[in-house]
Structure 1
Amino acid sequence: MTLAKSDVSALFTQAALAAERFRAGLDDRPQRPGMDYAALRAAAAADVLPTPESGLSAQETLDSLIQLAEPGLHASPAPRFFGWVIGASHPVGVAADWLTSAWGQNCGNHHTAPSAAFIEEIAARWLLDILHLPATASVGFVSGATMANFVCLAAARTHVLRQAGWDVEADGLFAAPEVQVLIGDEAHTSVYAALRMLGWGQRRLRRVATDDHGAMRPDALLAQLADCTGPVIVVTQAGQINTGAFDPLAQIVDAAHRHGAWVHVDGAFGLWARACPSTCPLTLAYEQADSWATDGHKWLQTPYDCGYAIVAHPEAHRRAMTFAASYLPQADDAERNPAEYVPELSRRARGFATWAMLRHFGRDGIATMVEQHCMLARHAAQRLADEPGIAVLNDVVLNQLIVQFGADRDPQQADALTRATIARIVADGTCFVGGAEWRGRWVMRMSIIGWETQLADVDRAVDAMLSAWRVEAGRG
């Protein structure tokens, strides 16, 4: 359907007003969706709406989308959303992302989108500087940590097999030398997904024992390395998803490199600890790794989707990702071709929102935010631990805490009380939290990472948690 210029203007204004209304109401609404998936389907009825035979006007279409979607939207950009490690989509990043969509650039290469490629180049340089990673590393702008892990581990596969005399890009994996992958017992599920996509089944991985907080044990890794022959990849972690623990690379990386191993860091949120002077010591020697995966849509607060695959060996990175055709322009040494660092040819220009958030926060702003969130996590942990029957099960070294309710009861009762307390907290709507199994016990997870979250928000949330617990404990 043809749209007049006035219709386009009205449509964009309509979208902006709906977005502004949603954001303005976040603090006053329950910090959970008004309807779950099943309720949304039931409300749509007619087997989730029939296929449209004729179209609606542009504004009617947008109205229809808003009406269908809004009841099921989480308050994830809100200051009391603690359920997962989800950044809060800062308005500066959102505005840059709107422009990205409106500009409609295909970030495939530097000819189809010169500005997108150039802005990525600047953002990549700033990113490496703020994270204290090698300035010569290459950066791919991907959808998130899952694909960042995929890209980095593809580069690792290319590199270690090439060292063993095998060209995986030309000859594939059939009859290739076996690559040993060593990975911590508490690695994130996204790493396993990336490894599966690259041809490593879960049963072929070598699991490395971890300590009480989920950090890789150096002695266990050294024992595994001593038993390895041929190409080796070691997958480490910055920020365990439940505890925030960091693998001790200072005791790992030299030994791994002496064995000829590639060391990868899954740092979806924890790698940002390097941007803050008070938390940077948690990442001692992390700059010596060979690759790093992290997200922009977590601590950098970009909108979804945005992640970064960072590789210390650009040639291996490009070799693993580049594909060529006669109609696709190739970059020279002075140019950045975005498609050389990611699996996609056609994709949105994620560098615009990244550049905007790095420019808006600056080095100091990111450091202050990380430090503030870690302080708030310690504050919440202290308040919860002071309450009888509640135990905080991790050392709060970053922004994550895990909590058990009924810690003075037997394990079965404690699990039931924890589940019931989480359900009561979520139903109350003051804040949103989630649950998980940790070392065979059910816990409440609290992840503090929204840019707008302040002490008053955390205290209000903890008050609601304590109130819910006291009711479940029979003291409410």
Structure 2
Amino acid sequence: MNDRAKALDAAHRRATEFLQGLDDRPVWPRASFDDMMTRFDGPLPDEGVDPADVVDQIALAADPGLVAIPGGRFFGFVIGATHPAALAADWLVSAWDQNSGSSRLTPATVAMERTAGTWMLDLLGLPPDASVGFVTGGQIANFTCLGAARAAVLARTGWDLAERGMRCAPAIRFVVGADRHGSIDRAARYLGIGRAEVTVVESDDQGRMRPEALTTALADTDGPLIVCLQAGEVHTGAFDDFAALMPIARDHGAWVHVDGAFGLWAAASPSLQHLTSGMAEADSWATDAHKTLNVPYDCGVAIVRDPADSIAAFRTGGDYLIYSGLDPWDVTPELSRRARGVPAFAALRSLGRTGVIRLIDGLHANAVAMAQGLASITGVRVINDVDYTQVMLRMDSDDDTRALGEAILRDGTAVMTGAEWRGHATLRCSMSSWATTPADVDRTVAAIARLVASM
């Protein structure tokens, strides 16, 4: 017991040191993977080490290889920081060590997850009786929703997937936008749907699926159909026109799924919810709470309109398991798991409705300010409509754009990550962190202006 107390004290001290130093440390790691392997690799020692010493050793050795993701100037990929209440609650989750699949086995944590799910449905304007499953991230949230979709659309044809499997099952038409996220294709592959079975619908210059192209794609469609739409394209932040697309899909009897890894939360903001008009008419929605909601990894959220569809796809058996009607393990692929929804409960309870709105509006305001600042730098062009939280920029040539991206990472003031858009190199700035301030935006713009001038 004394070892445990000392180890926790050491972890608290080292974590506090790391968080307090975020403003001064380079945002990108100062050490490579090979450097880290040099520090951590080697044979397993014969003798153990005091737990508190292990914590200290890990913290000191890892420090140069850590990314300042929790700070205010990490704009890479689409990664949020961790809200203070969510971070502290996550420590409790590890200390409590609750296997949160059953409401009878671990009633406290499942009750918090159930409440967090109810709050999310309310904030996002989604059906209040939908099932909400907490999974590892956006990838598995998409997989979970599409797993329910696969079983449901086959059931409509009279095919019992649980009994008969996929062999000889009716072919499922799987329809996606040209600029969907790769996790949609990966989820389809997990579900036995290959690339040759995917119908790709043309999108516009911002990555939004074209309604007229969907109409053409679905002409003469017969049989089980899944249509995947998107709330927040990962480069531009653009939202599909749900109000126009949803009736087209519905006319053909489609299950409509919305990948809203970070964009789903726009529905909670009165000033941004126009982006999601019509989205609530879908059958399933996926999001990733570590992005816009700013809770720790891992906390994806899979939402399915009819809980019976989730149960049909995922409920398992086992005479030793304890069932109580609708449990977490009834609506997700997992049995054993940590109480990952508790940090989401803590973040929502700490923020409240107005705090969530301020968070989302603040991310958008910071993105607009970043775009304006970057556009004022000679040689830099912002190439997307900044409707939400993504800013995409480039210089006149691909080589200069890539060189600027490398210079930003070396400089360490901020992190932006590279990508390609319409055949050209770009840099992406994702405004996802509650910790970002206007001063962080100004500091980043000044650093990029200095780097561009030096080029």
**Which bin holds the TM-score, normalised by the shorter protein?**
over 0.9
Distance 1:203 1:417 in 2: 37
**Does 2:227 match 1:234?**
yes
**Does 2:32 match 1:36?**
yes
Distance 2:220 2:381 in 1: 39
Deviation string 1:424-472 (CA, Å, 9 cap, x unpaired) is 1111111111100111000010011110111111011011111111111
Distance 2:280 2:286 in 1: 12
CA contact (8 A) 1:321 1:342 kept: yes
1:470 maps to a residue whose letter is A
Specify the alignment match of 2:237 in structure 1: 244
SS of the aligned residue for 1:297 comes to coil
Specify the alignment match of 2:453 in structure 1: 470
Specify the alignment match of 2:438 in structure 1: 455
Specify the alignment match of 1:417 in structure 2: 400
**Does 2:191 match 1:198?**
yes
**Does 2:333 match 1:340?**
no
Distance 1:315 1:166 in 2: 16
Specify the alignment match of 2:426 in structure 1: 443
Deviation string 1:40-77 (CA, Å, 9 cap, x unpaired) is 22444xxx211222211211222232233222110001
**Does 2:64 match 1:71?**
yes
Name the % identity: 44
Specify the alignment match of 1:119 in structure 2: 112
CA contact (8 A) 2:8 2:52 kept: no
2:155 to 150, 158, 162: 162
Deviation string 1:135-168 (CA, Å, 9 cap, x unpaired) is 0111001111100000000010011000011011
Specify the alignment match of 2:122 in structure 1: 129
Query: Displacement, 1:386?
Result: 2.5
Specify the alignment match of 1:385 in structure 2: 375
SS of the aligned residue for 2:428 comes to strand
What are the equivalent positions in structure 2 for 1:103-114 lying under 5 Å apart? Answer: 103-114=96-107
Distance 1:452 1:252 in 2: 36
How many residues of Structure 1 are paired with residues of Structure 2 in the alignment?
A: 455
Query: Displacement, 1:331?
Result: 1.4
Distance 1:99 1:401 in 2: 36
What are the equivalent positions in structure 2 for 1:50-61 lying under 5 Å apart? Answer: 50-61=43-54
**Does 2:201 match 1:208?**
yes
Query: Displacement, 1:266?
Result: 0.2
RMSD of aligned alpha carbons: 1.1
Alignment gaps of 5+ in structure 1: 407-413
SS of the aligned residue for 1:252 comes to helix
1:26 maps to a residue whose letter is L
CA contact (8 A) 1:405 1:469 kept: no
Deviation string 1:9-49 (CA, Å, 9 cap, x unpaired) is 111111111111100000111111121212222444xxx21
Specify the alignment match of 2:415 in structure 1: 432
Distance 2:363 2:116 in 1: 24
Q: Which runs of 4+ in 1 moved over 3 A?
A: none
2:293 to 292, 300, 310: 300
Query: Displacement, 1:227?
Result: 3.5
Specify the alignment match of 2:22 in structure 1: 26
Specify the alignment match of 1:313 in structure 2: 306
Distance 1:445 1:95 in 2: 30
SS of the aligned residue for 2:418 comes to strand
1:174 to 167, 173, 178: 167
TM-score (norm 1): 0.94
Deviation string 1:220-270 (CA, Å, 9 cap, x unpaired) is 111111142211000010000000000111001112112110000000000
CA contact (8 A) 1:137 1:311 kept: yes
CA contact (8 A) 2:101 2:328 kept: yes
**Does 2:387 match 1:397?**
yes
CA contact (8 A) 2:104 2:324 kept: no
Deviation string 1:293-316 (CA, Å, 9 cap, x unpaired) is 001101111111001000001101
Distance 1:69 1:92 in 2: 25
Distance 2:14 2:377 in 1: 42
**Does 2:291 match 1:291?**
no
**Does 2:132 match 1:151?**
no
2:430 maps to a residue whose letter is S
SS of the aligned residue for 2:229 comes to strand
2:352 to 334, 338, 362: 362
CA contact (8 A) 2:104 2:323 kept: no
**Does 2:88 match 1:92?**
no
SS of the aligned residue for 2:414 comes to coil
* Larger deviation, residues 378-387 vs 360-369: 378-387
Specify the alignment match of 1:411 in structure 2: none
Specify the alignment match of 2:55 in structure 1: 62
CA contact (8 A) 1:79 1:452 kept: yes
SS of the aligned residue for 1:244 comes to coil
Deviation string 1:377-416 (CA, Å, 9 cap, x unpaired) is 111112222233211110010010110112xxxxxxx100
Alignment gaps of 5+ in structure 2: none
SS of the aligned residue for 2:399 comes to helix
What are the equivalent positions in structure 2 for 1:245-284 lying under 5 Å apart? Answer: 245-284=238-277
Specify the alignment match of 1:409 in structure 2: none
